[in-house]
Every structure is written in structure tokens, then in C-alpha cells.
A and B are shown apart, each in its own frame.
Chain A
Amino acid sequence: MTGGQAPAIRRAGEHGLLVETGELAISHRLDALLRAERPPGVVEIVPGPATVLVVAPGVDLARLRARLSDLARTAGEAPPARPSGTDTVVIPVVYDGADLPGVAELTGLSVRDVIARHTGTELVAGWLGFAPGFAYLTGLDPELHVPRLATPRTSVPAGAVAIAGPYSAVYPSASPGGWRLIGHTTLRTWDVRADPPSILRPGTRVRFQAAGP
């Protein structure tokens, strides 16, 4: 979608509309606009790489569709250089992951360079999925794009810092996982007793920082 055009909005069942944004940054802007406005009856706003799903049981979907169309058009227009009020979350990482030497080998970089590239760019939480609090962090240095493990681990501990494909992530809780582990953080990114429970949300800016063991 380019700025000013009306976006495609698809029906997703009795209570849902799926807005085609075409790109992640527009999904994030539409998500922010919707969370600020909270149209009546909206219970879920789920941004994805090219869409935003809006779920609103029991509301007049024709009216909601018209409002979404307006908001999506606004979201598609040229954004400010950087949205104000968005702080960067700094995640301290001890780079001791079991796959760190393997990643260095795959990328042809030294371990030191892998760390430098992982800490050297600002990433953005694209969307969450796979597990509660599991954020797909976008903007990873292209030199660090490596395939997932051929055989996933049956258990990855909470706090493991990993990369796979164009993404990085922090495992929010212990789970099976096929991403390559490069380190760990003591920062708790997911806590069901906190409000909100995840410090990483769609659009959150993230920077990794090397920490001593």
C-alpha cells in the first residue's frame, strides 16, 4: 500500500476485519492509532508484517470498516522521522550461547564480529507469536542471517538470546526452540504479574548490549 490509497480490508469471520497494510511500519502506525482511539467494541488489535487484525464482537462491522479505512490511510502517509515517546529497550546480553561458535563459522565472521553486529543495530519488535511474549525482532544485520537449526532443541531456557533467518529474539519462557542460541539475558522480558506482561510489544525499539558474565 502506498500513502493516500484506500487499503484492502478483508472479512475475518463474524467479528473480525483484516486490514492489508502491505508493510510492517504501517502496521505499527495503524496499531498505535487504534490503541490511542480504541473504537467501541474492539477487543483485539493484532499487527503482522503486512496486516492488522481487528476483532470486535457485536459491533457494526460496516462502520468499523469505514473508520479503519480512514485510520489506515493516515497510517500510510509519510510518518514523522521517529515517533515521539518511544524509548529504546536495552537488553544486556552475556554472549555465551551454545551456537555462537557455529554462527561465527556459518557467517565467516569472528565471534567478536558477530557480537559487534548483534549489538550494533537498533531492532524493532515486529510482532509476537510462537509463545506468549516471544517477539520477532526485525532489523537484524543481514550478515547475521542464518538458518534455523535442522533439529530444534527440546528445551531452551527463558532468557536465551537467539537468531534465525532475518530475526532475533529473547525466549520469554522455557520452551522447545529451533533458533540458534548466541547468549542469554537476565532481563525478564515476560512476567504474567506485570502490566503489561511483556516489555516487548509490536513497535518496541530494542538494542542489545554486551554484558560481562
Chain B
Amino acid sequence: MIDVLAPGPYATIQDLGRPGYAHLGVPRSGAADERALTLANRLVGNPEGHAGIELTFGGARLRFADPAWIAVTGAPCPLYLAGRVAEMYAPVWVPAGAELVVGAPAAGLRTYLAVRGGVEVEAVLGSRSHDSLSGLGPPPLRPGDRLPVGVAGDRPITVDAVPGPAFPAAPVLGVLPGPREDWFTEEALRAFYGTPYEITPESNRVGVRLRGAALHRAREGEIPSEGMVTGAVQVPPDGRPIVFLPDHPPTGGYPVIGVLTSRALAVIAQLRPGDQVRFRPGGPGAR
């Protein structure tokens, strides 16, 4: 059992979500920075899709009733285990009864904790992810929650530590154009790919809302509702783009100017309100 003493500003259980139900109106959900969760799982010898804890702005305190192997990845935070400094991006042995304190991240937004055996709360539609749009899955963590830990598999822990990724201050993110690029004026495309955008405080796991040059449409009317992918840059009538994160609605009626690459998606999921970002067409991802 893991006892949640304090969850920090916002913490949820996340795995790789609920693929395969979009046609029934179910968001995929899952870790916002999938790369960080899968790495944390590999570090403790879990299958990549085991459920872990996604912390937003760090700040959590957890007590481990039983001994455990854990790994913490994503936005780099100070870690204290039983009062001593512990490493991120490494498997860490936790003795029974020890308390883990996660500080505020120096950079980035979301920090992931994996435990060997995985967090084993009840799965809904095959996933333990909290979906902030529909409410499916376990609710956000609260003080006093007790999280069961699953039985560890046979896979050994083989790595001592890995280098963490860089958290660039003003990243340039790769975007694959379309599917509805033709809905926008030349001027809008120049602005989208040529001027900086700022992450606003209204951003959440549904989408990153951007402030910057408004993107005007080349035509009138609306498109009929159509399927949306994670990373889609949807542009509502006010011209302010929204980048869809894993809890996005599976269908939407506003045109999508482009879709972030999976590398770019992992980067934008770690940006904070006030951070700046630029976009470039094509390309394999963030520089």
C-alpha cells in the first residue's frame, strides 16, 4: 500500500489509457508525457503500461507501508526519502514505512512515479487512468488515499540510472500539417509557424491553450464533427489554438491546422503557464 499524505497541487493515476473506445465517445486518456511514464516503468522492471502516479507541479508526500522499488521521472524535482536526498531517473529502494517527499520541479510540469508491480487500483474499460474530461477511472488523489501495489513480475531491474531529458526554455515543436490546413489563410499559417505562442493557465490534461497571434479562417461555416487525435491543434472561432492532450474529446467540430509529432507532444505536455513555444512544419519533432 502507498499512503497518500499529500498529493500536491494535482495528482492522478495514469497508465497508457483506453485506446479502442473513441467511437463510443471515450477519450483515450493516459499519461500526458507517455515517454516519462514508460521510462519510469522500465527502470523498476515493469511492463511499460503499468499504472503510476502523475504529479502536476510536484509537491507530494507518500508513505510506503511495504518495501518497494520505485522510480521517479519527468519534470525534475528534489526528492527526499526518509529524510535523505534520493535520485530521479533511477530505481530507488524504499524500506517499509519510509516517507517520500517530492519538492517543486525546477523545470517542467509533470513528474511520474512508478512502483515495481504497478499501482493496482480498479481498472475501468481496461485502464487505471483518471480521465479528467469524462471522470472515468480513479478520481484525482486526495490526502488519506491508500493505493494498492501489484505483484512484481519476473523482469529484473537492470539499469542503475539514466540521464534525464533536457527541458528547453522555448522549444520549437514539429507539426504535421492538416488535416484541415486548407481552412486557414496564408497569413494564419505564417503566424502559426512564424510567431511565438504562450501557454496559458487555462491549460490542463484536455488541452494546452495558447495565447498569441489569432489564426483566421479562409472560409465560412463549420465542419461537421470529426474524429480528433492527441496532439491535434484545434482552432475555435476566436482563433486561439488549443493543442489536445490525452483527455481531449474524441470528436470535435473545429478545424485542425496541424498535429504535433509524438516527440513534440511529450515536450508540450511538460510546459507551464507562461512558457513560450514555437511551431515548425514537418520535421521529426522538437529540436
Q: Which residues of A contact B (CB under 8 A)?
A: 10-16, 18, 31, 43-53, 55, 127-136, 192, 196-198, 201-202
- Is B190 at the interface (CB under 8 A from chain A)? no
- Is B104 at the interface (CB under 8 A from chain A)? no
Q: Which residues of B contact A (CB under 8 A)?
A: 19-26, 28, 124-125, 134, 136, 176-180, 223-229, 231-232, 249-252, 256, 259-262
Q: Kindly identify which residue among A12, A45, A52, A133 contacts B25, using a CB–CB cutoff of 8 Å.
A: A133
| A11, A13, A51, most chain B CB atoms within 10 A | A13
For B258, the closest partner residue in chain A by CB is: A13
Q: Kindly identify which residue among A12, A43, A48 contacts B251, using a CB–CB cutoff of 8 Å.
A: A48
| Nearest CB of B to A112, in Å | 33
Residues of A within 8 A of B249 (CB): 129-130
For B134, the closest partner residue in chain A by CB is: A132
Residues of A within 8 A of B227 (CB): 12, 16, 18, 44, 46-48, 51-53, 55
Count contacts between A and B, CB distance < 8 Å: 117
Decide: B176 and A128 in contact? CB cutoff 8 A: no
| Nearest CB of A to B80, in Å | 38
Decide: B23 and A202 in contact? CB cutoff 8 A: yes
Decide: A131 and B25 in contact? CB cutoff 8 A: yes
Q: Is the interface of B mostly helix, strand, loop or mixed?
A: loop
How many angstroms between the C-alpha atoms of A45 and B21 in the bound complex? 9
Decide: B251 and A46 in contact? CB cutoff 8 A: yes
12 chain-A/chain-B pairs, Cβ below 8 angstroms: A11-B177, A11-B178, A12-B178, A44-B20, A48-B251, A50-B223, A50-B224, A53-B229, A128-B24, A129-B250, A132-B134, A133-B24
How many angstroms between the C-alpha atoms of A183 and B231 in the bound complex? 39
Decide: A49 and B21 in contact? CB cutoff 8 A: no
For A200, the closest partner residue in chain B by CB is: B24
Given A48-B251, A129-B251, A196-B24, are A11 and B176 neighbors across the interface (CB < 8 Å)? yes
Decide: B229 and A13 in contact? CB cutoff 8 A: yes
Given A49-B224, A131-B134, are A16 and B125 neighbors across the interface (CB < 8 Å)? no
Decide: B226 and A14 in contact? CB cutoff 8 A: no
Given A12-B232, A16-B229, are A48 and B224 neighbors across the interface (CB < 8 Å)? yes
| Nearest CB of A to B231, in Å | 6
How many angstroms between the C-alpha atoms of A198 and B125 in the bound complex? 11
For B249, the closest partner residue in chain A by CB is: A129
How many angstroms between the C-alpha atoms of A126 and B275 in the bound complex? 40
Residues of A within 8 A of B262 (CB): 14-15
Residues of A within 8 A of B25 (CB): 128-135, 198
How many angstroms between the C-alpha atoms of A74 and B252 in the bound complex? 27
Given A14-B262, A129-B25, are A55 and B229 neighbors across the interface (CB < 8 Å)? yes
Residues of A within 8 A of B125 (CB): 192, 197
Given A129-B25, A192-B136, A201-B24, are A13 and B176 neighbors across the interface (CB < 8 Å)? yes
Decide: A13 and B22 in contact? CB cutoff 8 A: no
Q: Kindly identify which residue among A18, A50, A136, A201 contacts B23, using a CB–CB cutoff of 8 Å.
A: A201
Decide: A10 and B134 in contact? CB cutoff 8 A: no
Residues of A within 8 A of B124 (CB): 192
| Nearest CB of A to B230, in Å | 8
Residues of B within 8 A of A202 (CB): 23
Decide: A45 and B134 in contact? CB cutoff 8 A: no
| Nearest CB of B to A147, in Å | 16
| Nearest CB of A to B234, in Å | 12
How many angstroms between the C-alpha atoms of A164 and B229 in the bound complex? 27
| Nearest CB of A to B158, in Å | 25
| Nearest CB of B to A196, in Å | 7
For B20, the closest partner residue in chain A by CB is: A43
How many angstroms between the C-alpha atoms of A13 and B260 in the bound complex? 7
Decide: A53 and B24 in contact? CB cutoff 8 A: no
| Nearest CB of B to A101, in Å | 30
Q: Kindly identify which residue among A10, A52, A132 contacts B179, using a CB–CB cutoff of 8 Å.
A: A10
